[in-house]
Amino acid sequence: MANMSEPPVSLEDLLKLKRHERPQGEFWDSFERDFQRRRLRALMEGGEPRLMSAGFWWRLVKWSPITAGAVAVLAVFVSPISLSVMDPDFEDNALVAGMDVMPPVAATALSEGGAQRTVEAQPSPERGTPYVASLSTPLQSRFIRDELATQEEPRNFRRVLSSASLSVPAAVGSRYVADPLTTGRMEATSVVMRPRSHF
């Protein structure tokens, strides 16, 4: 096929062609959106509990398969792990996190001038978003839409965060993400949400 006057093509040359298989610009826009969403979820979930770590399970299985099975069953029923879910009812770029809040409803702590008190749930006049709050972070001063949404049962709170809330300065790996927010309806100056345990 080749004649002597043709320059040789090396394997390395061929493999270098793979460098030209690159996605276009719009791919990276979508990549960025998805990544921000996933990171927000990671932030809200915080660090993995030790109970659920792979190392723990491995040691447990080695130790006793029966005990491991029993603990696994317990974990499924007891652990409140499924905190973050995507909800198609909300806008595409929003992450919805929530789980049924155990009575008393408001496990959110509310601070006014440093004092903490418990927020009582306000019955919602209609299904939707009775509490809409604007949230700005002290460092970036970025404006973020933040909603507390109730369903039929006022006790079932969900929180909707726009992806911009990634600018909330939360310590990486921390279990809780503290989001100071202001809401006139609840006559509060700031509320600290604790996603994993109190959401």
Q: How far is the CB of 122 from another protein (least distance, A)?
A: 31
Spatial contact of 168 and 137, defined as CB atoms under 8 Å apart: yes
Q: Which is nearer to another protein, 95 or 101 (CB)?
A: 95
Distance CA 6, CA 185 (A): 79
Distance CA 156, CA 100 (A): 5
Distance CA 193, CA 107 (A): 9
Distance CA 70, CA 63 (A): 13
Amino acid making up residue 12: E
Distance CA 102, CA 186 (A): 20
Q: Which is nearer to another protein, 38 or 59 (CB)?
A: 38
Q: Which is nearer to another protein, 10 or 82 (CB)?
A: 10
Q: Which is nearer to another protein, 38 or 185 (CB)?
A: 38
Q: How far is the CB of 176 from another protein (least distance, A)?
A: 13
Binding site for another protein (CB under 8 A): 1-2, 6-23, 27-28, 30-31, 34-35, 38-39, 42-43, 47-48, 140, 166-173
Q: How far is the CB of 73 from another protein (least distance, A)?
A: 24
Q: How far is the CB of 114 from another protein (least distance, A)?
A: 22
